[in-house]
Structure 1
Amino acid sequence: MARTDEPAPIDALLDDAEVLADTYDDYDTEAARRRVTARRTRDGAACPGGAAAAPRHHPSAHEQAAHDLNLAVALILNAPEAAAGLTRLVDHDRIDPEGAVVFAALLHLTGHQDAAQFWWQFAAGGGNRTAAFCLFLAHQRRAEFQDAAHWRAQSRRLPRSGRPRTPATLSSLLPETVRHDLLSQCRHGRHPTLPAPLEAVINRLRIDSADEDFGEVPQPAVTLPDDLTPDS
């Protein structure tokens, strides 16, 4: 992935990423997974001692969705307005759905998958198409195809934000080296992770365990943007 000096706004990045959704048009994902399972079983039986065959070079649809979600999360956190969006999320006068998209991205990186889904659904309910697209990928990677189709339709139905391009002079949410490392990890096909000190910041957040559908859901703190850039 080529590095750019002025990352595009979150919605613009995900508008570009939405072309990935066309990969799944007219694609029978359930049948594909059955074919993959059958092929691996057959190839494994042909190996000495019945050992499992080496992974295929071409991932299945749910594996591709997992990669695409990781990339989307890295792009969200690399956007120049990510810090401002997260700050607006804890503004009690006006909670910004875009900030919930950013917060969910952080939760995804630190393994809080259900909580990330909670905040993406919160943002999608506020009309954020990026959140709906992330939900499409999250359900697709878990082979929850009916839910994935619903959120893919929502991501296409919701209007673009229409916000002007955010000046690149805004302070970034994460240190530059961390942002570049997230994208590098995606390039190499790995699940991107935050450095341990930044992951600890997320894991120390207050937990709301009252949600009956998602269980324990971390809550954003007013100091979170500053805590993620301690050297800025």
Structure 2
Amino acid sequence: MARTDHEPDIGIDRALAQAEALAGVYQDYDADAALDRVRALADAGTGLGPATPVASRYATVHEQAAHDLDLASSLIVDTPQAQRSISLLVESDPIEPEGALVFAALLHLSGYRDPSQFWFEFAAGAGNRTAAFCLTLLHQQRSEHRTAAHWRTQIPAPAPTAPQPALDASPLPPLLPDRVRRDLITRCWQGRRPCLPPRLEAVIHGLSTEPFDEDFGEIPRPDHTLTRLPQYTGS
């Protein structure tokens, strides 16, 4: 599956599902199989070749789940639909679930681990399969196996959909600059924690927050700053 800048706006959840990142309902967490699925998507979606070094196996399930969540978050912000989803998130009422998914991935990559869980849960509660998958990984990473099992049951099988004609051939601007997105996924392949450049992290950490929540702490609120992220890198 070659990625272009002229793909129809099929939605992040469908885009990941079509690339077999979420092939079927997870009845049990198979770390190797999960990583193979996300690796296949990374290879197809970013142009990284098979010779790229990758840490493909971890000593424990929770370490593997942490790696898979990092990679899944990197892939979410790398999808062609990410910019449009963020725009809908800050402009729409009610909140757009796919935008909440992208925002959660940005927060995760910025080190906002508890607030990212809030936004993953929001998207999953609206029926987003990818968000439920990320929550499964998040709780597996913490060795919270019962909660991880709950979110596994919330990953519905993808509804059959008719092929969508490519009505809109206009280029979709990426959410992040190419070099940032490539660095995120390269770090994952090399077994390092992906992180946003300091200037981008500063922008996200500068977002307004909701009043302190006893479960998630201060929860950042999305605003139009997120639609202008590339300008903060100097690219």
- Asked whether the two chains share a fold, i.e. TM above 0.5, the reply is yes
Q: How does 1:186-225 map to 2 (within 5 A)?
A: 186-225=188-227
Rounded Cα–Cα distance in structure 2 between residues aligned with 1:161 and 1:58: 36
CA change 1:210–1:155 in 2 (3 A) is: same
Deviates more, 1:16-25 or 1:74-83: 16-25
* 8 Å Cα contact 1:117-1:135 kept in structure 2: yes
* 8 Å Cα contact 1:129-1:160 kept in structure 2: no
Rounded Cα–Cα distance in structure 2 between residues aligned with 1:142 and 1:161: 35
CA change 1:167–1:76 in 2 (3 A) is: farther
Partner of 2:81: 81
Structure with greater contact order relative to length (CA < 8 Å, sep ≥ 6)? 2
* 8 Å Cα contact 1:105-1:116 kept in structure 2: yes
Partner of 1:49: none
* 8 Å Cα contact 1:185-1:192 kept in structure 2: yes
Residue of 23, 26, 29 corresponding to 1:24: 29
CA-based RMSD of the aligned residues comes to 2.9
CA change 1:226–1:211 in 2 (3 A) is: same
Work out which of the two has the higher radius of gyration on C-alpha atoms and give 1 or 2: 1
Partner of 2:45: none
Residue of 169, 172, 175 corresponding to 1:170: 172
Rounded Cα–Cα distance in structure 2 between residues aligned with 1:162 and 1:99: 23
Question: Post-superposition shift, 1:169?
Answer: 1.3
Partner of 1:132: 132
Partner of 1:156: 156
**Any idea what the Cα deviations from partners look like across 1:139-180, whole Å, max 9, x if unmatched?**
001100001011111113575788957857100000011011
Deviates more, 1:175-184 or 1:207-216: 207-216
Q: How does 1:27-106 map to 2 (within 5 A)?
A: 58-106=58-106
Question: Post-superposition shift, 1:92?
Answer: 4.0
CA change 1:168–1:187 in 2 (3 A) is: farther
Rounded Cα–Cα distance in structure 2 between residues aligned with 1:103 and 1:74: 12
Question: Post-superposition shift, 1:210?
Answer: 3.8
Rounded Cα–Cα distance in structure 2 between residues aligned with 1:96 and 1:149: 26
* 8 Å Cα contact 2:27-2:152 kept in structure 1: no
CA change 1:144–1:160 in 2 (3 A) is: farther
Partner of 1:28: none
Deviates more, 1:176-185 or 1:150-159: 150-159
SS in 2 for 1:209: coil
* 8 Å Cα contact 2:22-2:130 kept in structure 1: no
The reply to whether residue 118 of structure 1 matches residue 122 of structure 2 is no
CA change 1:212–1:23 in 2 (3 A) is: closer
Identical-residue share of aligned pairs (%): 48
